[in-house]
């Protein structure tokens, strides 16, 4: 077996193990008398519908920036430097995005046990997943943390300072959080119960009692 085939087989077994552990947690909840509702979407669908959902937010951020700020670095000698800075910070914000999911879930659950990071092989998308069942409030705390901290926070900083790099990062992170917004809306409309984050798909399983 080649090195690449070995790595692919190892990754496949790891994904199968994660799925098996998830199904085991679901079985425990069903045995406790909970009914199960599947609330997941594909990564592609999450990206598409998430983009549509945050598009008005991104448009509003840009409009406020243009109306209230005096943009720096536009047609100035610092444009090239700002482009390099933006590119580096954009890549870094992808890691921070997942870290904020972990921080929100860890703080709300008062433990970081069961929080893990990974990469979806099919789409090369990094993710953070939580293995513990959570209430809606706890799930949303971690799920929407990147939207508020990076999306809204950086956009507000850009509007207040007039710095193009900050507003560009804020808008980019609004789009990065599009899937999180979609999942949050689905959770708010799903009803009560407890929620279990899916390990390989975008979304969650809802467990509830009649």
CB-CB contact of 133 with 25 (8 Å): yes
Mean pLDDT of the 9-23 span: 79
- Which uninterrupted H or E stretch holds 100? helix 79-109
pLDDT at 75: 46
Average pLDDT, stretch 6-20? 74
Residue 138 CA to residue 198 CA, distance in Å, equals 15
Tell me the pTM.
Answer: 0.88
In whole angstroms, give the CA distance from residue 8 to residue 36: 32
Highest mean pLDDT of the ranges 11-15, 73-77, 114-118: 114-118
Select the more confidently predicted residue: 11 or 77: 11
Average pLDDT over residues 2-30: 78
Q: In the prediction, which pLDDT does 200 show? A: 79
Among 11-15, 18-22, 177-181, the range of highest mean pLDDT: 177-181
- How do strand 194-197 and strand 202-208 relate by DSSP bridges? antiparallel
pLDDT at 110 exceeding the cut of 60: yes
Quick count: other Cβ atoms within 10 Å of Cβ 94?
16
Sign of CA dihedral 153, 157, 160, 164: negative
Q: Which residues of 184-199 are buried (b: 16+ CB within 10 A; e: fewer)?
A: bebbeeeeebbbbbbb
Q: What is the mean pLDDT of residues 131-137?
A: 94
Tell which wins on pLDDT, 173 or 124. 173
């Amino acid at each position: 077996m080649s090195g690449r085939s070995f790595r692919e087989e190892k990754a496949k077994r790891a994904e199968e193990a994660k799925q098996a552990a998830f199904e085991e947690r679901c079985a425990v909840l069903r045995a406790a008398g909970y009914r199960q509702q599947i609330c997941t979407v594909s990564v592609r669908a999450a990206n598409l519908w998430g983009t549509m959902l945050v598009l008005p937010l991104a448009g509003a951020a840009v409009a406020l920036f243009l109306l209230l700020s005096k943009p720096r670095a536009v047609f100035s000698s610092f444009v090239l430097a700002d482009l390099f800075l933006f590119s580096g910070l954009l890549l870094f914000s992808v890691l921070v995005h997942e870290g904020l999911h972990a921080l929100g879930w860890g703080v709300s659950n008062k433990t970081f046990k069961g929080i893990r990071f990974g990469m979806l092989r099919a789409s090369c998308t990094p993710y953070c997943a939580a293995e513990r069942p959570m209430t809606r409030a706890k799930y949303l705390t971690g799920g929407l943390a990147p939207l508020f901290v990076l999306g809204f926070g950086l956009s507000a900083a850009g509007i207040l300072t007039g710095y193009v790099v900050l507003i560009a990062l804020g808008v980019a992170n609004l789009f990065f959080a599009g899937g999180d917004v979609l999942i949050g809306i689905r959770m708010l409309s799903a009803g009560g119960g407890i929620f279990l984050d899916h390990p390989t798909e975008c979304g969650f399983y809802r467990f509830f009692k009649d």
